[in-house]
Structure 1
Amino acid sequence: MKQLKPITNKLLWIFALGQFGWSLLSGVVSNWMVYYYTGSPDAQNPNTGIFASGITQNPIIFKLTLFGLVLAAGRIFDAITDPLVAGWSDRCTNKKGRRIPFLRAMAIPFALCTIGLFVLPQTGNIVVNDLVLFILLLVFYLFMTMFCTPYNALIAELGDTQQHRINVSTYISFTFIVGQSISFLLPNLAGALTSLAGQKDGIRLAVAIMAAIACISMMIPAFYIKERDYIDSKPSDTKPFKSLGKTFSNGQFRRFVYSDVIYFFALTLFQTGLAFYETKLMEIEDTWTFLLTATMTFISVLLYPVVNILAKKIGKKSLIIFGFFSYCCVFAITSFCGKGLQWGFIIAVTAAIPMAILGILPQACVADVAELTRLESGEDRSGMFFAARTFAFKLGQALALVTFTSVTVAETKQSYRTTAVVAFICCFIGACIFFAYNEKMILSKIKELKGSDEF
């Protein structure tokens, strides 16, 4: 039997660079597509809706907009492909490993498709633009799934101990929020490039620069980590949808997913609306978005060591529930915030706490359940556990995108406040559901089956 190399924190940090890359691409699309493709400009923010004239804006069914339906369709397609890609990855027999070959193949196409979303739907024909946008979004989400699903499976496989599972979840949470934060620099970077390329092309060039940085970040772990040197994995024999069914048959995993999908519905409403909350409710320029996000990220990162230590001492469950209720406070403040930059900083500081908690610990929970299942069944289906989680929460995200674009079609302050109220209610429900998750039982069984104290 081949002697495996020890998994080190250095290796986990290199692995975490991939999370920075894909979160930057995801952030560009999730944080700015709605902003640039819908809405209307004003004196302070002339770029709001700058690409809106190219696609259909009027509601087509009740208050459902085409753009909202296209985004939702993309997320649903993304959710459906998750178990297919997870099954493909779990059963992969490539000599370089089950996960790394996907990362190497997908980094460049994923980045190029991100650029295309801001460039290609700009013909003189609105119907053609609508169709191009729809197809590109499906391809974007497919490429994201083909990178992220195998990548996420490595969280459980590189997290060979409870210590490593919490550490890798901490590192990828850090790189995730850094990537998301840098994506909020898009208007600032676009503004700096406007004198060279004009308003629209300045935005496109800014997207291209960010996509190039993201691509390099995804390729570093893909080519540095030799998967077979660290992981002795055997391909699964279970077919994708049978594996998905077996995954959802796990009672503890279902309890986790129920709360997770509701939480992501609430969070997606908030994240999609963030630029609008700042520009329409607080009436500040969109170039402030990065500073506010950087403030939130900086405070959140300062809390990472605290979350890491507390998770090992008091458990992940209690902290996650606290994180849910903390986000409820953030959504409540957003629902009644007034004009002025101070409201942006209040929300940024308040949101830093749940961002630190919920950015780290849920992935570790999924890794725990996947590890216990592997020990009990002898079959490693880590990819499917993470795919099943994303399958569920992406459905929540799809519903949130339809809800946001439909509720805010009138573009009134009250419509934006309503989305924050809905987020508050849903997050509260998610917190209540998570009380049913039994973390102590899962960890005690892992310890028992391993026959050693890894904690």
Structure 2
Amino acid sequence: MSQNVNITAASASTQPVAGPGSNHITTMEKFLYGGGSMALAVKNVTFNMFVLLFYKQVLGLSGTLTGLAIFISVIWDAVSDPLIGSWSDRLRTRLGRRHPMLIAGTIPFGLSFVMLFNPIEAVQGTQWPLFAWLLVSVVILRTFLTMIWIPLGAMGAEITDDYAERTSIVSFRTNIAWIAGMLLPVIALPLLFAGTDDQDGRFIVENYTRYGWVCCVIVIIFCFACIRGTWRFIPHLIAVGNRHRPTPGAMGVLRDAIETFHDSNFRRLIVLDLCVGATFGITAALFMVTMTYYWEVSVGELSVLSTGSLVAAGLIFPATKYLSERWEKQTILKFAVIGFIINTPWLIVARMTDWAPENGTLFLFALLYIQGTINTFLSILRTISHHSILADIADEHELRTGRRQEGVLFAVAAFAEKFVMGFGYIFVGPFLDIVGLEATMAPGAVPESILTSIGIVIGPVMTIILVIPLWMVSRLSVSRERSREVQAALRSRQLGESAA
């Protein structure tokens, strides 16, 4: 945005009369707020590791129909995300704009995991009825996730207006999500997916039933803990919400969503999301297939590999603090994207050129662990800087339009990423059918042509796509100085309106 802001010393130092900037946020409150990210973490682990494998390789649903069901659910997100985001921005209750949706969405979201992994017997062994069950399950799950995740993300930008504190809050939310994303497979794989003497636990239907119930309990507990931990901020969130001037009329929701694209920084961030999300979506959809068939990793080894996320999360707290004190947010984001470009292809290329160790060796396992840990570290770093930048964009949007629309901004950004994550499944499902990966194929018995096709996609192709995000992040224009100017202008406006 090109608008210039003149700031006096008085306006720069004055806090809003009733705003979040005056609140001290304790470490426990940050932790409880971040606990709400368990909803997204459990969903991501579930879709990245279990849904495709369960429906395609265990229940026998075609890869094309599995991918289609997930992709259609993401198309539904195109409708539900902006609507729920705008609804949350416009909501006026004694509990504010964000908490009512968190409360309403928590229990149905938990139960949707039970439905997803418990298809009734009448649809098992079929194609279209099983497809319908999967489609309805994932649509329900994604809708109630949106009711949790969009208000949660918007709340993070409203709790405080401090440039550095926003990064800290997002850091807690992101790190808890990644730690949870690590712990869930570490615990679930050996305990819930234990095999028998003659069958791999990843191919036993009953194991997925137990997993669905465990997910249900986890998300309900952590989401209600988040609601309780952020309860005292409700009066301040209401004060922030009262600054929002929504566009009137039924079409106002659509106009508000379109208005967000007038900001050049937001447009660049969305393009970055689309491209990074495309790589994440495809690699995530192929993750379990890649580990099971390409690298021939066992359940126990996969559980150990997941602990790399814990190492990355342990490193990210001091790293984020160190980097955020020295670099601008877009510099950190650029560092993460460059890291992805380097880290994504090297091990695959080594395998394709016969430089990688043989499957089943300790050396290969160590290389997989190192690559996975680095990738998780970079992913956390990207998410923290991305969401923190989005909070600053929300301030600029308010200054330009007079509308406080964190809900819409986070909804549009979330949909952009979810859309291409869904694209990963609509690509991967037919891709596996085309290359010929059958449900009856065992690890170690897959034709080399199939493995080569998988390697090309998750290595060189993903790296090429990542060049676009590097270009987008190089064109971002956000800084501490600009954030202070915007904050000062907003405070000056609020004081002027209060005096009037």
Question: Given the two structures, how large is their TM-score scaled by the length of structure 1?
Answer: 0.88
Structure-2 change in CA distance of 1:307 and 1:154 (3 Å): same
- How far the C-alpha of 1:110 sits from its partner, in A, is 0.4
Question: Per the alignment, in what secondary structure is the counterpart of residue 183 of structure 1?
Answer: helix
Partner of 2:218: 213
Partner of 1:422: 461
- How far the C-alpha of 1:161 sits from its partner, in A, is 1.0
Question: Per the alignment, in what secondary structure is the counterpart of residue 23 of structure 2?
Answer: coil
Counterpart selection for 2:29 from 11, 30, 34: 11
1:100-158 CA-to-partner distances (Å, cap 9, x unmatched) read 01111111100110121111255344322111111111111111111111111111111
Structure-2 change in CA distance of 1:82 and 1:128 (3 Å): same
Distance 1:245 1:102 in 2: 23
- Give the aligned residue type for 1:213: I
- Give the aligned residue type for 2:451: K
- How far the C-alpha of 1:392 sits from its partner, in A, is 1.7
Partner of 2:470: 431
- How far the C-alpha of 1:15 sits from its partner, in A, is 0.7
Structure-2 change in CA distance of 1:349 and 1:11 (3 Å): closer
State yes or no: 1:285 paired with 2:298. Answer: yes
If you compute each CA radius of gyration, which structure gives the higher value, 1 or 2? 2
Distance 2:182 2:310 in 1: 7
Contact persistence 2:192–2:211 (CA under 8 A): yes
State yes or no: 1:139 paired with 2:140. Answer: yes
- Give the aligned residue type for 2:475: A
Q: What does 1:186-225 correspond to in 2, within 5 Å?
A: 186-192=188-194, 199-225=204-230
Question: Per the alignment, in what secondary structure is the counterpart of residue 58 of structure 2?
Answer: coil
1:1-46 CA-to-partner distances (Å, cap 9, x unmatched) read 76877241332221111112331133213321012222xxxxxxxx
Q: What does 1:250-329 correspond to in 2, within 5 Å?
A: 250-329=263-342
Distance 2:417 2:207 in 1: 33
- Give the aligned residue type for 2:169: V
Distance 1:448 1:223 in 2: 32
State yes or no: 1:370 paired with 2:370. Answer: no
Counterpart selection for 2:404 from 374, 380, 391: 380
- How far the C-alpha of 1:192 sits from its partner, in A, is 4.5
State yes or no: 1:443 paired with 2:483. Answer: yes
Contact persistence 1:166–1:360 (CA under 8 A): yes
- Give the aligned residue type for 2:476: Y
Moved more, 122-131 or 94-103: 122-131
Partner of 1:27: 45
- How far the C-alpha of 1:310 sits from its partner, in A, is 1.2
Distance 2:329 2:214 in 1: 37
Does 1 or 2 have the higher relative contact order (CA < 8 Å, sep 6+)? Answer: 2
Partner of 1:50: 58
- How far the C-alpha of 1:382 sits from its partner, in A, is 0.8
Identity %: 18
Aligned length: 432
1:192-246 CA-to-partner distances (Å, cap 9, x unmatched) read 5989x99321221123113201210011122342242332122542222111100
Moved more, 173-182 or 402-411: 402-411
Distance 2:487 2:377 in 1: 30
Contact persistence 1:24–1:183 (CA under 8 A): yes
Contact persistence 2:160–2:166 (CA under 8 A): yes
Contact persistence 2:48–2:287 (CA under 8 A): no
Contact persistence 1:25–1:211 (CA under 8 A): no
Counterpart selection for 1:394 from 396, 418, 423: 418
Structure-2 change in CA distance of 1:310 and 1:2 (3 Å): closer
Structure-2 change in CA distance of 1:159 and 1:416 (3 Å): farther
- Give the aligned residue type for 2:329: K
Contact persistence 1:304–1:356 (CA under 8 A): no
Partner of 1:41: none
Is there any run of 5+ residues in structure 2 with no aligned partner, and where? 1-16, 438-449, 493-500
Contact persistence 2:18–2:236 (CA under 8 A): no
1:45-73 CA-to-partner distances (Å, cap 9, x unmatched) read xxxx222x2x345xxxxxxx111111111
Partner of 1:249: 262
1:232-273 CA-to-partner distances (Å, cap 9, x unmatched) read 122542222111100111111101111121111111212222
Partner of 2:11: none
Distance 1:121 1:343 in 2: 41
- How far the C-alpha of 1:181 sits from its partner, in A, is 1.4
Moved more, 437-446 or 356-365: 437-446
Question: Per the alignment, in what secondary structure is the counterpart of residue 184 of structure 1?
Answer: helix
Partner of 2:234: 228
Moved more, 286-295 or 212-221: 286-295
Partner of 2:157: 156
Structure-2 change in CA distance of 1:237 and 1:448 (3 Å): closer
Structure-2 change in CA distance of 1:167 and 1:252 (3 Å): same
Structure-2 change in CA distance of 1:297 and 1:269 (3 Å): farther
Moved more, 165-174 or 335-344: 335-344
Question: Per the alignment, in what secondary structure is the counterpart of residue 307 of structure 2?
Answer: helix
